[in-house]
Structure 1
Amino acid sequence: MRLGILISMLVVVVFAAVVTTGTVTQVVTDQQDAQARGITNASCDAAIGPTQPGEPDKGAADAGNLNQEQQQIVQLIIAIGKERRLSGRAWQVAIQAGMTESGLRNLTYGDRDSLGIFQMRPSMGWGTVSEVTNPPYQINKFFDVLLAVPGWEKRRPGEAAQAVERSAFPDRYHKWEPMAATLVESLGQVANPVSCGTGLGALLPPSEAAGVAIQFALGEQGKPYVWGATGPNSYDCSGLMLRAYEKAGITLPRVSRDQYKAGAMLPVRDAQPGDMIFLATDPSDPTTIHHVAMYLGAGKIVEAQQTGVPVHTRAFSFDESEVVPQAVRPGV
């Protein structure tokens, strides 16, 4: 804990000046800067966004509520992640796991023989009691296991955390995504927690197929909404997406929850014309997705919304309460 003690003064100052104000210090602005700092970049197609649309202050508020012990552990996670040249996404996974398992505290108790920040169990081979209550050991061990998970960097951070922890409650890690991303941005001094720099849309440019899909969807305006319908005379929300992209030569799954997995994911605020936008009862939980629409740019979408409302375009805001943090670009 000597490292944690040494940085405690710095942590308090940083949290007061950065996190509680919600200000993000942009230090890493592109892949070249990240590489210069020795930080490995992750791929750009992961389901990760720096904020929760509809709750733009949630991450900063949760981060601002952390006490000194929790702050020290976050700083230690980031310091070890940087020392090992791991991406910001790896730090975020560890922060979400630690917050979920122990509230980012080095506990000396837990379920059965679970101990420490990540509730590691000596009986399950995580290490000795002394080791799994030693913060640097725990964090390094967590990163070791995370790196051994196939494709972890392409999973949503909460899913990657679950792959390490193997909890009986796999969805609970998503709750802390906005907070962890805020901490990676501010304390980790990473401008974009996706860890692939700014301008994500430029890395995944709109395709000719997107133009064809948009033209088709706009041409279906006025046709009635019918639940389960896939055209040509009526549509539901996913049925409209299905036929629009079918016209462009791209096959999508039938329902919106599956369409969420059918393409490249990117932060929803970086959506470009043709990308699919999703609404969910709980935006942090993709299993609650109940609607999909096509983004047209300039704050507009085209959609088959609900019974009694024909296919139409409407004004759209990323701050709508049910907006899922990721958009999907089909065919990429």
Structure 2
Amino acid sequence: MTRGVPIRLVVVLVVVVAFLGGGLVVVPAMMMMGIAGVSQDDDTGGVSTLSCSPIAQTGNTDVVLTDTQLANAQTVIETGVSLDVPSRGLVVAVATAMQESTLQNLNHGDRDSLGLFQQRAGWGSERVRTDPVASATMFYTGGRQGQPGLMDINGWQSMSVTGAAQAVQRSAFPFAYARWESLAASLVTSVVGDEPLGCERNAVGANLPDGTIGDMLQVALEQQGDPYVWGAVGPDAFDCSGLIVYSYRKVGHPLKIRTAAQMMDNSTIIQPGEERPGDLIFSALGERGSAGHVMIVVEPGLAVQAPRTGQDVKLSEYTIDNVNNKLGRLNASAFADSRQPAA
């Protein structure tokens, strides 16, 4: 399902702010260009490129990787290649390291966690866990006290990236890895294809579509971990339809409807197997067929949702039976500007 889409580099005309402990910087999405760097006029009146780093788009925010982060990603990938790990496993590993440490070889963490993968003391000595090659090897093959690595997980190749990562890491935030899948795929494509990381290689392998739908899904995925609150439409809490309203509004495509029932009434019902990213899943169907709950398809079989009171925004697997739930695609009538976003 992965396909390449252009990665965009930014001419930075604004002050960059620290993000995630200084490991990343974020830049407002301004003045996007196909290939550009941070540039300035030289003494001859020309333009000289000062720096150029890959940027991962997450909703309306650009995440810029440092040289150190790129080098650590390359180590994780090349270690996996040396162990004959399939490309999908490399994506899992990079997404995991991005979530756990923002691809930084940390000498601290929660309790005794250390390194790129924030492995606990039972996985190995401090020296081993802070050695990028050794820690990546353990992620793939297992820890020193029998902790299973990715290659030990039965059926990992058929799992979602976030599911496979969680099977190894056993995180308290099991779906957090999903937000880094497209960035990880781009880095694997670059390294495995022996293409330079940086200005010469400007491609992101993404399983989300380009354009409004992909941007909307990125926003929705970034809300994972925020609580369900009935009637909430963000930015820190959501109900099921509120998550959809918020995500579309953040990418400049506001809805003029609010509830799951209204969304179903303004959708074209589609059959299982026809769904694509951005389509909606309607459930808790009443006697008259109106919807009481709604989720967003991320990819066939996987959806992001704000489930119910006591739970947080998360990714969930789904099946469709056309009795208890139905698939729908929002019509132009649902949008305030009367334009249906292209998928």
TM range (shorter): 0.3 to 0.5
Per residue, is there more strand in 1 or in 2?
2
Query: Going by fraction, where is helix more abundant, 1 or 2?
Result: 1
TM-score calculated relative to the size of structure 1: 0.46
Normalising by structure 2, we get a TM-score of 0.45
